[in-house]
Structure 1
């Protein structure tokens, strides 16, 4: 069924051969009779219609030009995850949908650039107690994201400046309380392939202070294998169910990653739902067969 099938694994020009974690997927697909190759998403010479399927992987330079990325996604005939999923998921206001569906998420204050908020108005929307985070609704890899302390006049001034710069540039901004459990327990990232939970990893804290320019595509992350609890898997599934309902689909996504943190009372809550181009951390799967599982799911969609 897959003889002569061609699959492109979309990446970015900084990683033309894919991220190291994704490279075993090429061999896994070839072993299944698929002609698979990494292809740079914004390469104008590529004929995307020549591929039977295009799988979004390490397209990690899109956030500064989301409109171009969405136009590309719309132009690709057979894209996974789909253009509709990408459009919805690349703007963090999707968290509102999860919250309305009863999925536990971090409480968020949303700042709309169209409201032309003054610095004083921004100031009044920031927490009076506890560290907090300021970031844009379109970002990746903790870029343009900073952690601030309300009791420090200098830190609060930096936070106001950060949010104001985002708004002036026409970008929505979001303010969230910093979840202190991240400092000790990190984030838990649950990976799903074809709707099934396959493995999880623990990610160390990234935010230690104000927003600063990030070298490269993203801040480096320290990951370790982790076994998710039943409660964490349940919250992750609820988030995916809410996404499916919002997107009007009953078919499982090819891949998904649900990133969770822990409330003070121990309840898991969603910090991000990654359906566009998440690292799947296949090297950390317990049985080292993550690439094979993903390859099987891709092949099934070629049948």
Structure 2
């Protein structure tokens, strides 16, 4: 059942912050928006996306926050999204963005992305004899089922091939990407954007430290633990992020929020590793005013 934030008053517009069974009251970071929403006269409730009996029409908006169990149930999740009025972000964006093959469309539009080989179920794949690679599913969240392999090592080649075979057997498309070594020192830059009266506007950014240290041996829980610090993005990173958002189907003005994840490419220039438009962590606690900016974006969309 919905979990209201204490202090909500009758008659206030209601907003659902959508989560999953494992996180019925949301992550602590997501809960930071409750206070700013209440200050704007908006009653927020944490609601599990697949909970039975939820009347989604009772909410002025349903904001996807932490439904992180969707990866193994994507078809069900996409079908559910299509039934929810005033979903943020929109259901067609959810369908597009929950399969990382959206990177193909962004690459075709001229966005700099990490080079990716796609291995579909039933297709053969042979590990290269050298180089480091990242292997992960095209539908996934929280870096689960993701590993890093040094293909100069015979055992890593065996494990890499087994990883691809495991995903293929499960009917999942596999992504194989070169591991870009500068991420070990520079880390990954995630830039957050929220809706404003003038369109999607930059809010803040964080640095993610390197996470992948070797092959995938499984992860307990919904996601891998990340090392996060605040970061001021470079002008070049801001420019690349804006290019990414300009290529979103239907335009970025349709979005309530977006997160653009960049890493240094082979020449040091930023390239897109992921565009998070469905249920990204927004790291509200790492920048002054971030929770207030998200609350204002939600209020703006209520009209």
Q: CA deviation at 1:251?
A: 2.1
In the other structure, the counterpart of 1:297 is 297
The 1:265/1:250 distance shift into structure 2, 3 A limit, reads closer
Deviations 1:77-101 (A, max 9, x none): 1100011111000000000111111
Shift of 1:3: 5.7
1:203-224 per-position Cα deviation (integer Å, ceiling 9, x unaligned): 0111111112111110011100
TM-score by length of 2: 0.93
Identify unmatched segments of 5+ residues in structure 2.
1-9
Give 2:4's aligned residue.
none
* Residue 6 of structure 2: aligned partner: none
Look up the match of 1:25: 33
Residues 138-157 of structure 1 correspond to what in structure 2 (within 5 A)? Answer: 138-157=139-158
Q: 1:52 aligns with which of 37, 40, 60?
A: 60
- Cα deviations by residue, 1:142-200 (Å, 9 ceiling, x for unpaired): 11111111111111011001101111111111100001011111111011111111111
Q: Encode CA deviations 1:31-76: one digit per residue, 9 max, x unaligned.
A: 1111211111111121111111100001111111111111111111
Q: What residue is the counterpart of 1:219 in the other structure?
A: 224
2:253 is aligned with 1:251: yes
1:135 match: secondary structure: strand
CA distance, structure 1, for counterparts of residue 143 and residue 292 of structure 2 = 29
Mapped to 1, the partners of 2:241 and 2:286 lie a distance apart of 19
1:227: how far off?
Answer: 0.3
Structure 2: how far apart are the matches of 1:300 and 1:207? 38
Determine the structure 1 residue equivalent to 2:3. Answer: none
* Residue aligning to 1:102: 110
TM-score by length of 1: 0.93
What residue is the counterpart of 1:198 in the other structure?
203
Q: Match for 1:122 among 119, 122, 125?
A: 125
- State the Cα distance separating 1:127 from its structure 2 match: 3.5
Per-residue deviation, residues 216-238 of structure 1 (Å, max 9, x unmatched):
11001110000000000111111
Distance 1:107 1:162, change over 3 A: same
Q: Distance in 1 between matches of 2:239 and 2:129?
A: 33
Query: Displacement, 1:128?
Result: 3.4
Q: Which runs of 4+ in 1 moved over 3 A?
A: none
Contact 2:245 2:251 in 1 (8 A): no
**Residues 186 and 261, structure 1, Cα contact 8 Å, conserved in 2:** yes
The count of residues paired between Structure 1 and Structure 2 equals 290
Distance 2:170 2:47 in 1: 31
- The answer as to whether partners of 1:127 and 1:177 remain within 8 angstroms in 2 is no
1:141 touches 1:219 (CA, 8 Å); kept in 2? yes
1:3–1:34: 8 Å Cα contact kept in structure 2? Answer: no
Q: For 1:236, which of 238, 241, 250 is the aligned residue?
A: 241
